[in-house]
Amino acid sequence: MANESAKVPLLAGLRDPSTPINQVVPQRRRFGHSKSLPLTEYIPPEFEDHSQLAGSKSLRDNLHPNLKRVLIFLVLYLAAGTICFYLVRDHIKGLKTNGILDSVYFCIVTMTTVGYGDLVPDSTPSKLLACVFVFSGMALICLALSSAADYLVEKQEFLLVRALHINQKVGELDILKEIETNRVRYKCFMVLSALVVLIVAGTAFLATVEKLDLIDAFYCVCSTITTLGYGDKSFSTAAGRIFAIFWILTSTICLGQLFFCIAEVNTEIRQRALVKLVLAKKVTNVDLEAADIDDDGVVGAAEFIIHRLKEMGKICQEDITAIMEQFEDLDVDQSGTLSPSDILLAQSSYTGN
């Protein structure tokens, strides 16, 4: 970036918002409405656009620092739950092993809403405590599930933003598209595989350590991962409850994620079908009329894209209106198009403020 000014003497002035207005305004005329001179000629590849990309990324990161935060919440929740239930351990009846272990186990069985009933609160304070912990635990599990989903949505956006800025070739975009297409399905299979491993591990553990027969072990596994938790079969030994603490949490979240993934695949399939349907629809003069944003009687590529995106339901007039207002503010010379001179004038007024 050191040789920027050598390479692009004209743009160097235009891009620097601290440049005094009287130095740069005369240059404006040169750029005027130079329709025949594409901007590419003035902008070296270095400008394209790692700093801006990083900017967009950090914007989004600020909005979603989720997964780490959820893990911190989870640890805090389990710590608080263990302490509370340990303090009221004499108000909890049922099959007990070790004080602290039972508290953590009870906490996990409650937050995941498995609720076997092998340990149940047996006094007003412990019952109300269980009510508080089941609601907050449920919210936390939902947060964990939805933040994972958010993370995926954001990741998709990142991939796309990266695709937009780093390469302009259709070939590479097609590759990225392909990766995107398979990613959700791939994730679906990953989660499903993890779940199968957890089911097998749970069944094997219950059969060997808890001495259940194979059908009962499998039945208890199904009853647990679905959070059904009839409670006729549960983890009754200390070793079983240590295993249960990790296994119940991961397997219930895993099943939740599987449902999320299936929903995601489903949404994707329908979205694509809608895009196909819209693209297959004949373009009529009515469409041209609706698409003609600048009212010049013809529809440019960008106008056509916006119209079709609207039909696909991907964008709405609300989105467009706000951006149009900004466009009108930026179009200082009222030409109906933005050129470097408009940017320069806008920057001068930013600096002036």
Q: Is 127 in the site for its own copies (CB under 8 A)?
A: yes
How many of the chain's residues bind its own copies (CB under 8 A)? 136
Q: Quick check: 148 binds its own copies (CB under 8 A)? A: no
Q: Give the nearest distance from C-beta 82 to its own copies in angstroms.
A: 18
Candidate segments 71-79, 97-105, 186-194, 210-218, binder of its own copies by CB under 8 A: 210-218
Q: Does 113 bind its own copies (CB under 8 A)?
A: yes
- Would you say 344 and 27 are in contact if contact means Cβ atoms under 8 Å apart? yes
**One-letter identity of residue 16:** D
Q: Does 117 bind its own copies (CB under 8 A)?
A: yes
Report the sign of the C-alpha dihedral through residues 84, 85, 90, 91, in that order: positive
Q: What is the DSSP letter of 93?
A: E
Question: Are the C-beta atoms of 278 and 312 separated by less than 8 Å?
Answer: yes
Taking the least distance from each CB to its own copies, the nearer of 97 and 113 is: 113
- Residue 124 lies near its own copies (rule: CB under 8 A): yes
Which of 81-89, 200-208, 215-223, 239-247 is the region at the interface with its own copies (rule: CB under 8 A)? 215-223
Contact 70, 143 (CB under 8 A): yes
- Ranges within 256-285 binding its own copies (CB under 8 A): 259, 263, 267, 270, 273-275, 277-279, 281-285
Residues 162-201 close enough to bind its own copies by CB under 8 A: 163-165, 170, 173, 176-177, 180
Considering the rule CB under 8 A, would residue 59 count as an interface residue with its own copies? yes
Between residue 76 and residue 95, which ones bind its own copies under the rule CB under 8 A?
Answer: none
Name the token pair of 253.
């979240």
Answer for which of 27, 216, 236, 268 binds its own copies (CB under 8 A) is 216
Burial (CB < 10 A; 0-12, 13-18, 19+), residue 238, is middle
| Beta strands per DSSP E along 138-186 | none
- Length of the chain equals 353
Max intra-chain CA distance, the chain:
88
Contact segment (CB under 8 A) with its own copies among 68-76, 135-143, 184-192, 201-209 equals 135-143
With H, G, I as helix, E, B as strand and everything else as coil, classify residue 310: helix
